[in-house]
Amino acid sequence: MTDSLGHVRELFLVNHHALPPLTVAIAVGALLPKALASSHWAHRTPRTALVVWSVLALSLITSLSLAFLQLLLPAADSHQLSRFVESCIFFDGADCPPLPLNSPADAGIRVWAAFAAAAVAPVAFTAVLVREFLSAKRRRARHGELLRLVGSRQPELRATVLQHDAPAVYCLPGRAPQVVVSSGALRVLTEQQLAAVLEHERAHIAGRHHLLIAAAAAFGTAFPGLPLAHLVRTEVPLLLEMTADDRALRRCSRGTLATALYVVASGQAPHSAVAAGGPSAVLRVRRILTPHATSSPASWRAFAAFPAAAALTLFVMACCSVPGITDWPSK
Amino acid sequence: MRRLGDLEAEIMDRLWRWDRPATVREIVDDINRIRPVAYTTVMTVADVLHRKGLLRREKSGRAWLYEPERSREEYTAALMQDALGNTEDRQAALQRFVEHMPPDDVSALAAALRAAGQIPGSDEEPGALS
């Protein structure tokens, strides 16, 4: 094969390794999320759905990273990288070929550019995540500081009470987590309703839900415009609410929890602006009131979805790192 | 041993109740009626509260007169704003039992409860809306 022919061939072959991760990125970034959001089992089994959303998000970051890497990497180096991964990582370093890669001199920069491009998605997400954690932590610290000054600890409720007419119940997660109830909420809730509401908030604290919510918010910010990012941002908090509802339902009746939700919501001054989580409360109440919506075992699809998503991720990794699979288009 | 945070609350509580500027000596004397506390400790904590912007102070003779920057109600309102606010960016900081909702959603909630035979606040849970 002549040199010029080799170059032409390389031009056309440069991108073929980028196709599997790109396909997965499109699938998990745009197609699967819509299917998952409109599926019936997700809200029935919120814990499973949360795992699936997390796997989709991680798959997107991984596949984007690999796609960028392969788009910029010359085909020859791409193959060598595959061999490097195979022999140095999978087979304990026997016959480890050297990196940096032995491509034509001008391609050296391209290799480093490819590695830099591969880092873009994970680094961007990590940066937004750290910022999100820190700002949430700062807001919580400020809130907790004022709360300590004006709230009164009620050991028999295991909660802090704020003197205010509007009914409000929330939890302040973090290092010194606490459940906060306004005096307005104590006034409108019955004893059973209050117990249900407190149980719901304690489930948030026990499950450390704030970490997942921060991660979902960061994911939404890091990949704007992507259907997966938008849906992770709205679905993850809703699914966590449902998880906490389920936990509260172990201790109280469906009617108690549903009416408690209504009593707190209707007691607050109506907010005519578009509320961020508005319709979610309606979904939650309908779900709480429908027995099979919370207690049925996960459907076969719920169990199939997780291994499928995991297998998809493994497939991408394999396609980009095992020569036996990846060499077929160039031979 | 009590945490300094508790002492902060005790100091603020007194200044809000008295509703007038007070010296560290007055605060120490009042706390000492319940438990012993060192003058320098209270002075330090009052200074911390001043630096945090929670207390303002002015010189009166040789002593500082301390006064809350804002009322207890104003701080409570600020906390409730956080607790009821519907901005998405606060989601990670607090978890509310139920989001602040537009009126249409509240009626949808009532409709869902009625359909399930749980007339909001009237039959099953008497006193729910008392």
For residue range A10-25, list pLDDT tens digits in order. 555 555 777 778 888 8
Rounded CA-CA distance A64/B42 in Å is: 57
> How many alpha carbons fall within 13 Å on the CB side of residue A145?
11
Q: Quick check: A168 and B84 CB within 8 A?
A: yes
The residue length of chain A stands at 331
Residue B89 has pLDDT above 70, yes or no: no
Rounded CA-CA distance A155/B5 in Å is: 18
Most confident of A1-15, A304-318, B60-74: B60-74
Helix axes A227-249, A254-267, angle to 10 degrees: 120
Q: Quick check: A275 and B89 CB within 8 A?
A: no
Looking at residue A276, what is its pLDDT?
45
Residues A293/A43, Cβ–Cβ less than 8 Å? yes
Looking at residue B54, what is its pLDDT?
94
Does an H or E element contain A227, and which? helix A227-249
Residue B5 has pLDDT above 70, yes or no: yes
Nearest CA to A44 out of A272, A280, A284 is that of A284
Looking at residue B129, what is its pLDDT?
42
Domain assignments of chain B as residue spans, ordered by start: 4-68, 72-115
Rounded CA-CA distance B17/B19 in Å is: 5
Residues B68/B54, Cβ–Cβ less than 8 Å? yes
Residue B53 has pLDDT above 70, yes or no: yes
Tokens 């209050």, located at residue? A194
Lowest mean pLDDT among A100-104, B17-21, B25-29, B46-50: A100-104
CB contact residues (below 8 A), chain A span 38-77, against chain B? none
Q: CA of B66, closest CA in chain A: separation in Å?
A: 16
Which of the four pLDDT bands, split at 50, 70 and 90, describes residue A70? confident
Which of the four pLDDT bands, split at 50, 70 and 90, describes residue A119? very high
Which of the four pLDDT bands, split at 50, 70 and 90, describes residue A164? very high
For B104-125, what is the mean pLDDT? 75
A183: contact with B, CB 8 A cutoff: no
Q: Quick check: A281 and B98 CB within 8 A?
A: yes
Domain assignments of chain A as residue spans, ordered by start: 3-330
Task: Give the pLDDT confidence of A204-240 residue by residue, as tens digits.
Answer: 999 999 999 999 999 999 999 999 999 999 899 999 9
Q: Nearest Cβ partner of A268 from B76, B100, B116?
A: B100
Task: Give the pLDDT confidence of A275-305 residue by residue, as tens digits.
Answer: 444 458 888 998 999 877 654 455 555 556 6
B4-68: which CATH number, 3.20.190.10, 3.40.190.10, 1.10.10.10, 3.40.50.261?
1.10.10.10
A259: contact with B, CB 8 A cutoff: yes
Rounded CA-CA distance B111/B104 in Å is: 10
Looking at residue B32, what is its pLDDT?
94
Q: What is the ipTM, given to two decimal places?
A: 0.81
Chain A positions in Cβ-Cβ contact with residue B75 (cut-off 8 Å): 146, 149-150
Q: Which residue has the higher pLDDT, A316 or B50?
A: B50
Q: Quick check: B80 and A214 CB within 8 A?
A: no
Instruction: Give the end-to-end CA distance of chain B in Å, rounded to a whole number.
Output: 43
Looking at residue A88, what is its pLDDT?
63
Q: Quick check: B94 and A172 CB within 8 A?
A: yes
Most confident of A27-36, A295-304, B38-47, B76-85: B38-47
Q: Quick check: B124 and A255 CB within 8 A?
A: yes
| B99 dihedral zone (left: phi>0; alpha: psi -120 to 50; beta) | beta
Q: What is the DSSP letter of A158?
A: T
Instruction: List the single best residue of B51, B79, B113 to mutate versus A (max A Cβ within 10 A).
Output: B79
Q: What's the 3-state SS for B20-70?
A: CCEEHHHHHHHHHCCCCCCHHHHHHHHHHHHHCCCEEEEEECCEEEEEECC
Q: Quick check: B95 and A263 CB within 8 A?
A: no
Chain A positions in Cβ-Cβ contact with residue B99 (cut-off 8 Å): 275-278, 280-281
Which of the four pLDDT bands, split at 50, 70 and 90, describes residue A196? very high
Residue A176 has pLDDT above 70, yes or no: yes
Residue B109 has pLDDT above 70, yes or no: yes
Tokens 């902060």, located at residue? B8
A287: contact with B, CB 8 A cutoff: no
Lowest mean pLDDT among A231-245, A279-293, B12-26, B79-93: B79-93
Q: Quick check: B102 and A261 CB within 8 A?
A: no
Task: Give the pLDDT confidence of A226-276 residue by residue, as tens digits.
Answer: 999 999 998 999 999 999 999 999 999 999 999 999 999 888 866 554 444
Q: Which residue of B has its CA nearest to A187?
A: B130
Nearby residues of B86 by Cβ (< 8 Å), 6 or more positions away: A271, A273, A275, A276, A277, A278, B99, B100
